[in-house]
Amino acid sequence: MIRRTALFLTIALFCCAALPAAPPDAKPLVLAFVPQENPEKLIGDVDAICAYLESELGLPVKGYVTLDHTAAIEALRNGDADVSFMGGLPYVLAHNEIGAQVVLAEVYRGSPTYRGRIFVRKDSGIKTLADLRGKSIAFADPISESGFLYPRDIFAREGLLPRDADLKSFFSTVYFAGGYQQAIQAVANGFVDAAGVSQFADLLLRPEELAEVTWIAESDLIPSHVVVARKGLDPERLAAFKRAMLKLNQPDYRHLLKHVYSPDGYVETSHQAYAPVEELARAYGLLRTDRGG
Amino acid sequence: MKTAKSTPSPGLVAGLLIAGLMLAATGGVAHIVNEEPWHPVPAAYLRSLFYANLKPIPWHRIASEYDAPLREPGFAGKTVYELLAPAQAVAGIDHAAAIRRAIAERDRGALYDASTRAVAQLVRSHLERAAAALDRPAVARSEVLAAQRIYRAFADPYLEAAAPEVYRHLGRTWLELTSSIGSPGVLGAGATPPERQRFARASSEVLAFLRDNYEVARGDAGRGRLMPLPAAVDCGAIENDGVAGRLAVLPPGSNVNDQDPLPLLRLNFEARGHDERDLFMVAYGDMVFDSPRIFGEPARSLGIACSTCHNRSDVNRDFFIPGLSHKAGSVDVDGEYFNPRFNDQRDDPLDIPTLRGLRFTAPYGRDGRFASLRDFVRNVIVNEFGGPEPTPLVLDALVAYLLEFDWLPSPYLLPDGRLNDRAPEAARRGEALFNKPFPGLGGRACATCHVPSANFIDRQVHDVGSGDPSAPGARDSFFDTPTLINVKYTAPYFHDGSLETLRDVVEWFDDKHRLQLTPQEVDDLTAYLEAVGEAEEPYEVFDDENTPFALAWAELSTFLSTLDTLIPARDATHALLLLDTVGPDLRLDASAAQDRSVIPKVYEIADAVAAIRAAIAAGDWPAAAARYENYKSLAELYGPSLR
């Protein structure tokens, strides 16, 4: 295991006021949130979800917003956090490195899976993936299953760009735009020829932009984002936490989902569901093969 | 009857461009796709410029944009001045002091120069910090993304409209920046090192662009509208046919389209079982109610129509434009922004009234200044929103449609306005109080003005003390007695929306008119108002069948059915108004489709509609008729699947 310099750069730490009912010496349950687009946005959300969990669990609950995935995973490793929220790829990396366990999967539009897509402008004349040879493409982020790995793998699947090949041997320029919105807008606004991002990314376009964009290829199914817990978290605590999170599926609690990245709900899942992500991560050299969970 | 999910129509018109700053609602979808919120600095900057274009300039609003504590998560308690502080490091300029001075001196040119420079240098400071943090990719990344969020003040839609080539070039330069900072990976996996030279090249390009275009003093000389455009456009170095000068953009914080929940629309003919497609005038009026094209600029380009404010015959309670609204659901309809000629110079936003039951509620206007609905509506179109003189058909159709607006049935009211026996006990005690004369009301009862047997109005104006007379003793704060039917759903109350709840209204009357009510009586009278104001089903209920898009499609296809009359009549004027309203709306509404696989079908229908338009514009009526048939078969084929 490689130890890195402490990247645990916490942007902010928020404590929800402990519930009077909670035993005074109870160790708080700690949630680490990874900023998805900008760090500020989540901070308001953290308070709301902690307050809900405190009242459900009768325990103090704290939330951290971390700088990035590594920081969140380091926190899980050190016991500085008990639970975190992340995409399938960071999860399999965390599972392999520190034994993080999957708790629940998020549901969007009725499904715990989604796809990556290759978007182009309608007026670009680009109809097939092969047309993208020598063209520019924007992905969201290199450590993202739907914002890079899966869309990238479409080109391997179609025999256009082998998994071990340099991206530059097919595309003229490859960009990482920093997020889905930046990537999909880069296509809509004509900065790049294509974007490889989540199938939902086009929801971020203004209606008049949407009318100008279409997609030409779709990845295999990607298992959804997950709630993960650190290895060794007290099973009772974990079970209670899971129950509280599943309760968010009920009509009376649904409004709280927007405070945890707004999925439509949660379902039970298993590590097995993430085997395809693991396989892909391994194929792209992101996982070492000599390590088990 | 536009739905809340409708979006602005694109400016097909005379090269005018659409409001770009309001992202469409993405309706509760996943962090997979969370929308970027505005950074407070560009938001305050753009709002301040918007205010500085109003007359008279609301300087107090500009001042508070910069010095009021923020509430945005992550910035709470700070002020925009404080957030600008890091920009001082760039060139030693005290931006806060410069902006404060401009505000104190009420110098809009100086405000423009100082605030534009401050925003540009704040972008610069983040890029400088990113450069210094290149060996810590996570830090560098958050600095670049912060810089980009602030740069947004200039980019979209201003630079995009003024200089599309430059805009695209810089868009790619920002991609160079985000791509060259490298990636921290996760636990080292997938880490990529920064590309320092690539970063330096891109960064210096952005910085040079900012320096030359936004960090220069331009002053107010000869400049009409203040906009965050590059200096190169001002001085003519970038040619743009004046397009940028005509941009219609609402500032961040505006909300003219999202409304949740959506009020239920109750039309009299529908309640009686008739189909709108059989009622030409009503269907055409419904379309006009939804058409920004009857207005002048900027309302037209912004996609603002009657339905934007009076959504589904009720009120868009979330409507808000900074500087024009004092609270959500209000707007000043006679200010500088919508029609400078009609600017009454008074900052007097009004709570948008519901139009339910409109045919019974004359006179019109909060102060009842128009006896005729037709006169009122013409005034709205021509004066408030600077539109061209409407044709008689447009006005008559609009009025025909407005006259169909019904109140929502109340579960507790008898036809004569008395409560039935299902009404709660407290409400029935309140009913007696409502009908009881009070010395404080000059011996009148509430019911004297809100006459229960006459829809709770008296069709008179009164000064109940809710207004703000121009001078002591001046008789100019009279308001039309509003109905109390459905009043439970029309908060806030009074012409200016100054009271939030019905209890507040009761307490206000008790206080102002010394009614000397006991706490129990306050409760009872409130319960009475709630019972009178109740509605069985106040909001549209969406499900898998009745989706927002299905609703939008139902109305757009109803509008198009008026071609059954207009094509045989060879009425090009009205057919074109219809098609220019529906065509773009159809395309834009497509993005609201629940089932995204239907979007291409919607575009196909939109193309068919565009084809009808082209034939009519060319005066080829036989072709128009044939293409209309073609549209109808497409609509029949796809219609049922459009959700």
Residue of chain A whose alpha carbon sits nearest to that of B152: A182
Q: Which residues of A touch B189 (CB under 8 A)?
A: 93, 143, 281, 286-287
| Start-end of H helices in B105-195 | 108-132, 137-154, 160-162, 164-180
Q: How many CA atoms lie within 13 A of B58 on its CB side?
A: 22
Structural domain spans, chain A = 28-110+224-283, 116-220
Domain boundaries, chain B: 10-214, 268-402, 425-532, 548-641
Residue A263 pLDDT: 81
Residue B16 reports pLDDT greater than 70 = no
Name the more confident of B406 and B11: B406
Output the pLDDT for position A259.
Answer: 75
Cβ distance of B190 and A286 shorter than 8 Å? yes
Asked if B179's CB is within 8 angstroms of A177's CB, the reply is: yes
Tell me the chain A residues in contact with residue B179 when contact means C-beta distances shorter than 8 Å.
174-177
Residue of A nearest to B192 (CA): A142
CATH code assigned to B268-402: 1.10.760
Statement: residue A15 has pLDDT above 70: no
Most B-contacting residue of A141, A189, A254, A282 (CB-CB within 10 A), to test interface: A189
Strands (E), chain A: 10-15, 29-33, 61-66, 83-86, 101-107, 113-114, 116-121, 136-139, 173-176, 194-198, 213-218, 222-223, 226-229, 265-268
Residues on chain B touching A41 (C-beta within 8 angstroms): 34, 37, 73-74
d(CA B315, CA B224): 34
Main-chain dihedrals φ then ψ at residue B436, nearest 5 degrees? -90, 130
* B388: CB partners within 8 A, 6+ apart: B294, B296, B382
- Beta carbons of A70 and B187 less than 8 Å apart: yes
Across the interface, do A261 and B34 touch by the CB < 8 Å criterion? yes
Cβ contacts below 8 Å, chain A against chain B, sum to 180
Q: Nearest chain B Cα to A286, which residue?
A: B189
**How far is the C-alpha of B65 from the C-alpha of B44, rounded, in Å?**
5
**For an interface test with B, which of A10, A36, A40 has the most B Cβ atoms less than 10 Å from its Cβ?**
A40
Task: Look at B149 and A286 and tell me if their CB atoms are within 8 Å.
Answer: no
Q: What is the ipTM of this complex?
A: 0.85
Contact residues for B490 (Cβ-Cβ < 8 A; gap 6+): B314, B315, B353, B354, B533
Cis peptide before B56 (omega within 30 of 0): yes
Identify which of A138, A142, A264 has the shortest CB distance to residue B192. A142
Question: CB distance A190–B168 less than 8 Å?
Answer: yes
* Residue A33 CA from chain centroid, whole number: 11
With DSSP H G I counted as helix, E B as strand and the rest as coil, what are the percentages for chain A, rounded to 5? 40, 25, 40
| CB < 8 Å to A42, chain B | 73
Dihedral sign of CA atoms A189, A191, A194, A197 in order: negative
Residue A293 has pLDDT above 90, yes or no: no
CA distance A26 to A215: 51
A198–B141 CB contact, under 8 Å: no
| B214, B154 contact by CB (below 8 A) | yes
Mean pLDDT on B256-268: 90
pLDDT tens readout for residues B148-202: 999 999 998 899 988 999 999 999 999 999 999 988 888 878 888 999 999 999 9
Asked if A93's CB is within 8 angstroms of B176's CB, the reply is: no
Six token digits for residue B606: 């939109």
- Residue of A3, A191, A197, A209 to mutate, interface with B, max B Cβ within 10 Å: A191
B186 → closest Cβ in A41, A70, A207: A70
Is B370's pLDDT higher than 80? Answer: yes
pLDDT of residue B387: 97
Q: What tens digit of pLDDT does each residue of B338-352 get?
A: 999 999 999 999 999
Peptide bond into B261 cis (omega under 30): yes
Take residue A201 and report the two structure tokens written for it: 């990314």
Find out whether B137 and B182 touch, Cβ atoms under 8 Å. yes
Q: What's the pLDDT tens digit per position in B275-289?
A: 999 999 999 999 999
Q: State both tokens at B542.
A: 């969406």
Cβ neighbours, 10 Å, residue A21: 9
The answer to whether residue B553 scores a pLDDT higher than 90 is: yes
Model confidence at A226, pLDDT cuts 50, 70, 90, reads very high
How far apart are the C-alpha atoms of B158 and A264, rounded to whole Å? Answer: 36
**Which candidate in A38, A111, A226 is best for mutational testing of the B interface (most B CBs within 10 A)?**
A38
The tokens describing B509, both together, are 């009357």
pLDDT of B23 over the 60 cut: no
Q: Do A142 and B187 touch (CB under 8 A)?
A: no
Q: Name the strand (E) or helix (H) holding B634.
A: helix B621-638
Please report, for chain B, how many H helices and E strands are present, in that order: 26, 4
Q: Which residues, including other chains, have CB under 8 Å from residue B633's CB and lie 6 or more apart?
A: none
In which element (H, E) is residue B524 found? helix B519-532
Question: Residues A195, B28, B304, B3: is their CA dihedral positive or negative?
Answer: positive
Q: A203 and B33: CB-CB below 8 Å?
A: yes
Taking the C-alpha atoms of residue B338 and residue B328, their distance in angstroms, rounded to an integer, is: 18
Residues of B in contact with A90 (CB under 8 A): 186
Nearest to A40 among B75, B148, B192 (CB): B75
The pair of structure tokens assigned to B26 is 């993405």
Return the residue of A nearest to B166 by Cα: A191
pLDDT above 80 (res B595):
no
Inter-residue contact A41 to A19 (CB < 8 Å): no
Q: Do domains A28-110+224-283 and A116-220 have the same CATH topology?
A: yes
Could you give phi then psi for residue A218, rounded to 5 degrees? -135, 145
In this prediction, residue B24 carries a pLDDT of 26
Which pLDDT score is estimated for B219?
66
Give A206's DSSP letter: -
Give the helix/strand (H/E) hosting B50.
helix B40-52
pLDDT for the residue B632: 97
A38·B36 Cβ contact <8 A: yes
Closest residue in B to A254 (Cα) is: B28
Rounded Cα distance, B122 and B119, in Å: 5
Closest chain B CA to residue A174 = B179
Asked if residue B318 lies in contact with residue B329, where contact means CB atoms within 8 angstroms, the answer is yes
Q: Which of B2, B7, B32, B149 to mutate to test the interface with A (most CBs of A within 10 A)?
A: B32
Q: Which of A138, A190, A208 sits opposite B175 (nearest CB)?
A: A138
Hey, are the CB atoms on B185 and A143 less than 8 Å from each other? yes
Distance of residue B33 Cα from the nearest chain A Cα, in angstroms = 6
A194-198, strands of its sheet edge to edge: A173-176, A136-139, A194-198, A116-121, A213-218
**Tens digits of residue pLDDT in A273-291:** 999 999 999 999 888 655 4
pLDDT tens profile A31-70: 998 876 544 555 566 888 899 999 999 999 998 888 888 8
Angle, nearest 10°, between helix axes B164-180 and B137-154? 170
B145 and A179 within 8 Å at the Cβ level: the answer is yes
C-alpha distance from A101 to closest chain B C-alpha (Å): 16
CB contact under 8 A, A204 and B33: yes
CB contact under 8 A, A178 and B148: yes
In chain B, what residues touch A91 (CB-CB under 8 Å)? none
Average pLDDT over every residue of B29-39 = 55
Nearest Cα residue in chain B from A284: B190
Q: Which residues in chain A have their CB less than 8 angstroms from residue B168's CB?
A: 189-191
Tokens of A260: 């945890």
Q: How far is B147 from chain A (nearest CA, A)?
A: 12
How far is it, in rounded angstroms, from Cα B385 to Cα B306? 10
The Cα–Cα gap between B162 and A74 comes to 47
CB atoms within 10 A of CB B540: 16
* Separation between Cα atoms, residue A4 and residue B89, nearest integer Å: 32
Is B392 a residue whose pLDDT tops 90?
A: yes
Q: Residue A71 and residue B589: Cβ atoms within 8 Å?
A: no
Please state, in angstroms and as integers, the Cα–Cα distance from residue B447 to each residue in A264, B430, B434, B450, B453, following that order.
49, 12, 6, 5, 9
Closest residue, chain A, to B29 (C-alpha)? A262
Backbone φ and ψ of B91, nearest 5°: -140, 15
Contacts of A182 in chain B (CB under 8 A): 148, 175, 178
Contact A97 B148 (CB under 8 A): no
Q: How far apart are CA B307 and CA B293, in angstroms?
A: 13
Q: What would the CATH number be for the domain defined by A116-220?
A: 3.40.190.10
Of B36, B171, B590, the CB nearest to A37: B36
Set of chain A residues whose Cβ sits within 8 Å of the Cβ of B145: 38, 178-179
Look at residue B28 and tell me whether its pLDDT is greater than 90: no
Prior bond of B492 cis (ω within 30°): yes
Query: Computed from CA positions of residues B473, B476, B480, B486, in that sequence, does the dihedral angle turn out positive or negative?
Result: negative
What residue of B is the nearest CA neighbor of A259?
A: B31
pLDDT in tens, A70-129: 889 999 999 999 999 999 999 999 999 999 999 999 998 888 999 999 999 999 999 999
The answer to whether B463 and B495 are in contact (CB under 8 A) is no
pLDDT band at A180 (very low <50, low <70, confident <90, very high): confident
pLDDT at A264 exceeding the cut of 70:
yes
Pair type for strands A61-66 and A10-15: antiparallel
Q: Please judge whether A207 and B591 are an interchain contact, meaning their C-beta atoms are less than 8 angstroms apart.
A: yes
Task: Classify domain A28-110+224-283 by CATH number.
Answer: 3.40.190.10
Q: What percent of chain A has pLDDT over 90?
A: 63
Residues A175, B178: C-beta atoms closer than 8 Å: yes
Determine whether domain B425-532 maps to CATH 4.10.1240.10. no
Average confidence score pLDDT of chain B: 90
CB A40 to CB B148 under 8 A? no
Report how far residue B448's alpha carbon sits from residue B121's, in angstroms, rounded to the nearest whole number.
63
Name the closest residue on chain A to residue B73, using Cα atoms. Answer: A44
How buried is residue A182: exposed, middle or buried, by Cβ count under 10 Å (0-12/13-18/19+)?
Answer: buried
- Kindly state the helix (H) or strand (E) to which residue B462 belongs, with its residue range: strand B461-462
Q: Are B247 and B177 in contact (CB under 8 A)?
A: no
Q: How far apart are CA B306 and CA B635, in angstroms?
A: 27
Average pLDDT of B18-23?
A: 27
3-state secondary structure of A57: helix
Contacts of B165 in chain A (CB under 8 A): none
Q: Is the pLDDT of residue A11 over 50?
A: no
Q: What is the Cβ-side half-sphere exposure of residue B21, based on CA atoms within 13 angstroms? A: 26
Q: Which residue(s) pair with A227 in the sheet?
A: A85, A104
Contact assignment for B36 to A189 by CB distance below 8 Å: no
Q: Which residue has the tokens 């050299």?
A: A285
Amino acid type, A261: Y
